[in-house]
Structure 1
């Protein structure tokens, strides 16, 4: 058994935990970060299957209003480049493939009705306080129905209903029958997603990427912390006795401190043993916030041929296996292969994501050909990454409570339990579910422990 001491023990070396530890260190206190995995980054994971080609199996973009992330990247010396969006999007509904203006002209009335539904969501969200959504005037009513039920009652055409489902699942990564209407409105308040729900790049959420890969950010934060980051140390228990917090890891490492920050998704935080036990309402919350389902497939070609054909590599499809895609190439000035990123989210991740690789990739090639021509059926390489099987993540992008989750248990999401504070993007008040939210949550948790330390 080995023993380490610090002022603040941080559980989890994802972006939120590393930011929290960095803030603690900057304030003159000693952090110690314990990470279950053999790498840092959590839901950020960059792979380089071809030299100079960086594929983001995890978090990939920041948006125009992600000021914390932009500032952090600049501070760490990581440049940004613009997401490619020029050209037409390809739409596939009812076996018919249409591009750009042709689709909008053919289904103008359907799209206008979808737009009205989105504006109604915006108006409803204005009544929700993100710091206490359970206190919204209609919180009880909205948290007792699912997003899917509410969509079904809006009189949308079959195409409009399917389109709004695809776009919503593209944000939440779970079917809309699993998330309460209040839960979606919380996302609207923290991210403003409905205003850009039909935008091919999710509006302000996916406008810029990191030159050299997103994975540089957690790695450089960890490098700053040095030996204060300990990998391959899954936390088994957190005990509080008097003013001492004792954290015990599998493998024998024991860490003691005055405060602890658990920077894990709620369901993973709930798998740690606590002594004394957590309040029942907090434990009940963690039982009701499952990880979402997402699977990424990167399809590589010798060049981004679709750009010369006036396409942006974005598709929206009711057939699948991918419901959405986009251009995921390296910066134009560096050249490199053409890369289309196909998203399998929610039910598609759970179904097609479990198909044998050969079957799934054959279906993806066929889908690419339907949208981008016969050349798209012959990629040079396909690289895939699902998150459900990753032992220390068990899903992406984030977690969403089901019906009655917010009104009954939401107040315990970020409420400290004595010296134990909670981080991770799910606890953020701005851009929850994104890297921006992870930074927001890490900074807030750091402020809480520093206040308690005096």
Structure 2
């Protein structure tokens, strides 16, 4: 009868996404020994690069970095992963609030007044977000007021026209991946604050959060990080129990594998971290928090053609629509490859609704949408690939967790605060670019530095 192995380390790290791998590398560089326990059979967490066709990778998980994601640019350079700019030449196609399909120039001309309304709201959001301390949103001067209403309710109170209100909803759901009626207004302001200003958060062109991609796919980043800590990495090791004392932890995985250390860093999303058993149990405030931080909903669908035919028509492959099923799209062609690739986003309610449809029915609905915006050629892809974060066993939702009303002010202090030997990381705990890869790096480094300070 075989006995499951026991791993001895200074620091046990739960999760091999970017945050966990960064934490492991940082701990190792300080002369301490980490062991990384990953439930999946791969590294990367919410990053997932897969080949749709031989030599043509698509991103079913995280895809972009933005101009102010300095940690990720530095990390890519260190790991030898080249980057290239997101394609943005040409016009976006709009279909909002009954406007019908319009090119960007006509849409902006026809709805210039509505877009000016939207710009005023963005400037007001920036002013209010500047009052939110990213390390402690509950200490904002108007935290109690802002946390008692949803972002959607606040939006509704701004007196916007249907076009402006619809566009604001689409932009926000594209970031939060849930309807704005589910999110605290304080949480929206926190998100804006951690990401700079609305122009950096919502823009897709220069200065935005989706300006740059990785040659070979985003998966190159965690893969190369994993190579640096390969001797300390264990895959297919779902953590079930964390026993913790003042200066020791014992982490037990399904199958009986055990890891012992002096500290543990849990890098999972809060809701998944809450599914682990802890002995002794965690304080009730922490458990109550994780019950209120569900992972959001998002789906990505890729249509691959023999060429990017929309470019010849002066279009950039982007659509913004409330007709659906998708609310947004991007041209995600690869440099040096002749194929045309359009990515459609389904987020929030669209992901929940269309993600449950039969595959062929969902594809047909998305195809019809592309035809409306880009013409009959869109009906004849060579390949179609889609994927929903919530269906993945070790993800169970997409790139962020959102606080509903009263969560930040009632439970927020428990999000990143260590509990004895247990430290928390993961992008959801970041204070800069939370919910992005940039935030994952920041959170991993922060937790690792805290543990190193305690142990050395």
Are 1:167 and 1:197, in contact at CA under 8 Å, matched by a contact in 2? no
Q: Distance in 2 between matches of 1:241 and 1:425?
A: 26
Residue deviations 1:6-37, cap 9 Å, x none?
00000000110000000000111000000011
Give the number of aligned pairs. Answer: 452
Task: Name the residue aligned to 1:71.
Answer: 74
Q: Distance in 1 between matches of 2:112 and 2:423?
A: 49
- Residue 97 of structure 1 deviates from its aligned partner by 0.6
Task: Name the residue aligned to 1:399.
Answer: 401
Residue aligned with 1:296, SS: strand
Gaps of 5+ in 1: none
Aligned ranges for residues 123-138 of structure 1 at < 5 Å? 123-138=127-142
- Residue 242 of structure 1 deviates from its aligned partner by 4.4
TM (normalized to structure 2)?
Answer: 0.97
Are 2:68 and 2:207, in contact at CA under 8 Å, matched by a contact in 1? no
Aligned ranges for residues 35-50 of structure 1 at < 5 Å? 35-50=38-53
Q: Distance in 2 between matches of 1:250 and 1:202?
A: 46
Task: Name the residue aligned to 1:53.
Answer: 56
Residue aligned with 1:96, SS: coil
Task: Name the residue aligned to 1:104.
Answer: 108
Q: Does 1:88 align with 2:91?
A: yes
Task: Name the residue aligned to 2:389.
Answer: 387
Residue deviations 1:323-359, cap 9 Å, x none?
000111102xx12310000000000000012111111
Aligned ranges for residues 5-404 of structure 1 at < 5 Å? 5-93=8-96, 94=98, 96-192=100-196, 194-196=198-200, 199-201=203-205, 203-331=207-335, 334-404=336-406
Are 2:204 and 2:211, in contact at CA under 8 Å, matched by a contact in 1? no
Are 1:237 and 1:272, in contact at CA under 8 Å, matched by a contact in 2? yes
- Residue 227 of structure 1 deviates from its aligned partner by 2.6
Q: Distance in 2 between matches of 1:262 and 1:242?
A: 17
Residue aligned with 2:101, SS: strand
Are 2:52 and 2:383, in contact at CA under 8 Å, matched by a contact in 1? no
- Residue 200 of structure 1 deviates from its aligned partner by 4.0
Are 1:12 and 1:262, in contact at CA under 8 Å, matched by a contact in 2? yes
Residues 221, 196 of structure 1: CA spacing in aligned structure 2 closer, same or farther, 3 A cutoff?
closer
Are 2:126 and 2:197, in contact at CA under 8 Å, matched by a contact in 1? no
Gaps of 5+ in 2: none
Q: Distance in 2 between matches of 1:354 and 1:344?
A: 12
Task: Name the residue aligned to 1:409.
Answer: 411
Q: Distance in 2 between matches of 1:14 and 1:199?
A: 26
Q: Distance in 2 between matches of 1:202 and 1:37?
A: 36
Residue aligned with 1:354, SS: coil
Residues 256, 196 of structure 1: CA spacing in aligned structure 2 closer, same or farther, 3 A cutoff?
closer
Are 2:204 and 2:210, in contact at CA under 8 Å, matched by a contact in 1? no
Residues 195, 186 of structure 1: CA spacing in aligned structure 2 closer, same or farther, 3 A cutoff?
same
CA RMSD, Structure 1 to Structure 2 (Å):
1.1
TM (normalized to structure 1)?
Answer: 0.98
> Which has the higher mean CA deviation after the structures are superposed, 379-388 or 236-245?
236-245
Q: Distance in 1 between matches of 2:432 and 2:87?
A: 25
Residue aligned with 1:300, SS: strand
Are 1:53 and 1:336, in contact at CA under 8 Å, matched by a contact in 2? no
Residue deviations 1:177-221, cap 9 Å, x none?
000000000000011352256534594211110000110111111
Q: Distance in 1 between matches of 2:327 and 2:131?
A: 32
Are 1:298 and 1:382, in contact at CA under 8 Å, matched by a contact in 2? yes
Q: Distance in 2 between matches of 1:282 and 1:235?
A: 18
Residue aligned with 1:388, SS: helix
